[in-house]
Amino acid sequence: QLQLQESGPGLVKPSETLSLTCIVSGGSISGINYYWGWVRQPPGKGLEWIGCIYFTGTTYYNPSLKSRVTISVATSKSHFSLKLNSVTAADTAVYYCARHGVSWGFDPWGQGTLVTVSS
């Protein structure tokens, strides 16, 4: 059974870079037709798609975050990562990683990790 688990610091200072890793277990990160994505949810608010990566390394980003986001994949290590630079308090959110297809929906999801941006 495929499982995803986010890891990374829970506190980041303003203007610094948020870095998270999603560890994939129980399946291959190299499967065709799947994208490995990041979704965030500010406290009390809705879901926002951040971006995703295909195992070949091709990336797609939310236009509103594109200038600050980098997603990378390490297929040999079965994990993919998110970097969001120049963070502000508005980037405080629960960050989820998830597998998704073009049409197949987001499933499974990681449990989510709260990242707070504060000095």
Partner 1 sequence: QSALTQPASVSGSPGQSITISCTGTSSDVGGYNYVSWYQQHPGKAPKLLIYEVSNRPSGVSNRFSGSQSGNTAFLIISGLQAEDEAVYYCNSYTSSTTWLFGGGTRLTVL
Closer CB to partner 1, 44 or 76, in the complex: 44
**Number of residues engaging partner 1 in binding (CB under 8 A):** 24
Q: Build a one-symbol-per-residue string for 31-70: x at contacts with partner 1 by CB under 8 A, - elsewhere.
A: ------x-x------xxxx--x-------xxxxx------
Q: Is 5 in the site for partner 1 (CB under 8 A)?
A: no
Closer CB to partner 1, 32 or 76, in the complex: 32
Dist CA 8 CA 82 (whole Å) = 10
One-letter amino acid of 84 = L
User: Phi then psi for 52, rounded to 5 degrees?
Assistant: -155, 170
| Angstrom distances, CA of residue 33 to CA of 2, 65, 102 | 15, 24, 8
